[in-house]
Amino acid sequence: MLLTMTTTHQPATDLGHLLHKHPGRAQSFTTSSGVAHVFYPKATHDECTVALLLEVDPIALVRGPGSTLTQYVNDRPYAAGSLLTVALGTVFRTAMSGRSDSFPELAKTPIPLVVRIPALPHGLAERLFTPLGWTVETTAHPDSRYGDVTLSGTLRVSDALKHLYVLLPVLDGGKHYWVSADEVDKLLKAGDGWLAAHPDKELITTRYLVRRRPLVTSALERLAEVDGVEPEELDNALAEPKISLAAQRKDAVIEELLLARAKRVLDLGCGSGALLRALAAEPQFTEIQAVDVSAKALQEAGRGLDRLGERQRDRITLRQSALTYADPALAGYDAAVLLEVVEHVDPSRLPALEHSVFVVARPRTVLVTTPNVEYNALFETLPAGRMRHSDHRFEWTRAEFAQWAAGVAERCGYTVRHVPIGPEDPERGAPTQMAVFSTKDVK
């Protein structure tokens, strides 16, 4: 993966002093995420560009201690994210601190900078970088959630590096290693001077700490002290550090739907309507259709809607339909959610579900969550070998789910990525696994 930083501050080669890397010498560094190479494609009085190239061994990455990856074929070698953050923190540690013995005043001075990242998940890039003084330009890569992103602004080099250190894994939405309590300290150190005032500090904190609620709570409380805000004025989650797995699933689904800019949403297999109230709370979702085969479940969902305001109720319709039968009335929606649904379907009927959802309905985005059976051994009250619900027809390992999802994506013209939900165990992964499907014609 590659990142470049360019300045036209004159003399531009002063960038080498700020980064503590000589423009006339290529250097290589062994980091925990791979071999990082630093070199200068251009170094003149008028313009200077430094490049950070990270070489990743995907096999060593999967086998490494604490890795959360299970597949040798993955996007980590080229997609900017937590691996590149590790390299940044290792190679430019002194520059990130803002210290320059040779040019102390320049280190404190904002200079014109252009940062280019050729492969970055860009969905939130403008939203997160713009408040920090960056102008964001993106060229989306076809059939991919990645884009060629260019950031332009006049900032101190140390601030630019801190922004990248925090926001690259936030944009990627995950980390390749086990996240522990020391990640809070890393976040607050790199976010010093800007994170507390960022309008999306809660989103940044949550995604940087991969939704580990106790860590997120701790970080937000400490940011509140910095910002002079009472903790109870922050996210309501601070009042209750322990959030149920069901609530974490809904939060993850809502976040992905917002990221996809979905307006018309299908809740497929809605049951008694647990997700409906969360969907109704977001004004972005202008039309919500809840679908279930059970008339009784739809009646319960309808009673739950009585507690909503009139405007929220008017955006929701209920429909009785089986997901294993093609229903043309479900076509044309922006997104569909199957929240803990597929495991209730007989394996022999999964091809029918695939056809009705991914071929006939064919929303731009499909979210599928399902239990990770590998995690079951960590539930103290669940007997060995027993599934989490008596109606489950199966429960997949992460590899089995990934294989099914990859097959669906290939056959139906989607791309797919995976998001863990809930506390992750270094050996067994997260309790819930989510596949995010996107149609290949979405740019």
Residues of the chain with pLDDT under 70: 33, 57-81, 143-144, 173-181, 211-213, 224-243, 441-443
- For residue 77, the model assigns a pLDDT of 58
Gap between the Cα atoms of 299 and 295, Å rounded:
6
Instruction: Give the tens place of pLDDT for each residue, 18-69.
Output: 999 999 999 998 877 678 899 999 999 999 999 999 887 654 554 444 444 4
- For residue 231, the model assigns a pLDDT of 36
**What is the pairing mode between strands 414-421 and 432-439?**
antiparallel
- For residue 372, the model assigns a pLDDT of 95
In the chain the first and final C-alpha atoms are separated, in Å, by 21
3-class secondary structure per residue, 255-295: HHHHHCCCCEEEEECCCCCCCHHHHHCCCCCCEEEEEECCH
- For residue 266, the model assigns a pLDDT of 97
Q: Tokens at residue 344, please?
A: 């209730």
Rounded to 10 deg, the angle between the 157-172 and 82-91 helix axes is: 160
- For residue 369, the model assigns a pLDDT of 96
Under 8 Å between Cβ of 408 and 358: yes
- For residue 140, the model assigns a pLDDT of 84
- For residue 230, the model assigns a pLDDT of 39
- For residue 57, the model assigns a pLDDT of 64
Query: pTM of the full predicted structure?
Result: 0.53
Nearest partner of 335 among 411, 263, 412, 234, judged by Cα? 263
Gap between the Cα atoms of 253 and 258, Å rounded:
9
Instruction: Give the tens place of pLDDT for each residue, 250-280.
Output: 889 998 998 899 999 999 999 888 899 889 8
